[in-house]
Amino acid sequence: MASQVHAVSSRYDRTVEALQSAPREWRQDFASIALLLLTESYYVEAGLAEGGSEALHEKSQAGTDQSQWRIAVERYAGQLHRLQISVDSGADVSLLVFDEAELVLEINHQQVMLSHPRMEKQPAFEQSVLEQFCQVRDCYELTGLSSLMPSSPGAVPVPDRLPAATSATETVKPAWSFTVEGLVCAHDGIRVAFQPSDNPGAVRKLCVQLFTEAGRLLSGLAQQQSHGVLVDWSEFALSGGANGTEQVYKLNGAGDVLRLNSPLMGRQPAVLTALQPWLRARLRGRNYSLELPAGEFGWKGATISASIPAAHSPAAH
């Protein structure tokens, strides 16, 4: 029997659930994208089978079986492609979700399961479908934050205007001031005060790194929200699975994450905790003034240089 997806399941599942009652054009767009990507996956699979058969003796039984498998996969890929053309031509689409969480498209009384030929690649396939669909349709409008995790008091509404994006290679230009207490850097409402004895060159590098990472994080969170992802601040934290300088941020209890190159945050999680009030306000479209005494993070004297991630310091950009 078909069943609905629970509201706190994955973002992909929540989108599928919402699509069941969405306008038919939305379901058609989703189906067209999913079928196109699935078709490509099966053609790739057929290509792998062809490569494997060439490596085998052409008269062997194994080679014959491999060739037959390739032909069958290519035939199925062709069927998927014809269904995709049918959807693009206006065929109605129904989405069926079964108890095993398997998604089936029904097109002109034909059913096709949206399953990647390789099980381990299914999550990546679903993510690709979701990303492409959310580029042509407003996923926030589709799902709405109120329907994602209604019991979460930390749910963040999406403002009318989201923060501007900060690219992976972009660095910011802080404002600098000299006071009797020491050098001060500021950017977008964040102000960091240092001691007079702190090295100005190291201070400048640290401030640029901090503000650059904060801007990337803010832009990344805003993009996730625009795609209908809830940022639940009671769950928000640095998570495991970091790869080098890439940090994994847990966004909510539904399993949504954000991956960013933010080595300074990864090295000093206390910075992320201190930035949360600023992030929450900026994601609501509000200005916010945040004071960060450098000494609270060990940024003083000779330790400042040691705090700057060498591979991603401003000199590396």
Model confidence over 10-39: pLDDT tens digits?
A: 788 888 989 988 999 999 999 999 999 999
What is d(CA 161, CA 152) in angstroms, rounded to the nearest whole number? 23
**Is 314 within 8 Å of 172 (Cβ atoms)?**
no
Residues facing 2 on adjacent strands: 98
What is d(CA 231, CA 148) in angstroms, rounded to the nearest whole number? 10
| pLDDT tens digits along 60-82 | 444 556 677 788 888 888 899 99
The reported pLDDT for the residue numbered 207 is 92
Q: Are strands 237-243 and 246-250 parallel, antiparallel or unpaired?
A: antiparallel
The reported pLDDT for the residue numbered 217 is 94
The reported pLDDT for the residue numbered 240 is 62
- What SS3 class is residue 47? helix
Q: Are strands 190-193 and 290-293 parallel, antiparallel or unpaired?
A: parallel
What is d(CA 44, CA 115) in angstroms, rounded to the nearest whole number? 14
Q: In the chain, which residues have pLDDT < 70?
A: 1-9, 49-66, 99-101, 144-171, 240-245, 301-303, 305-306, 310-317
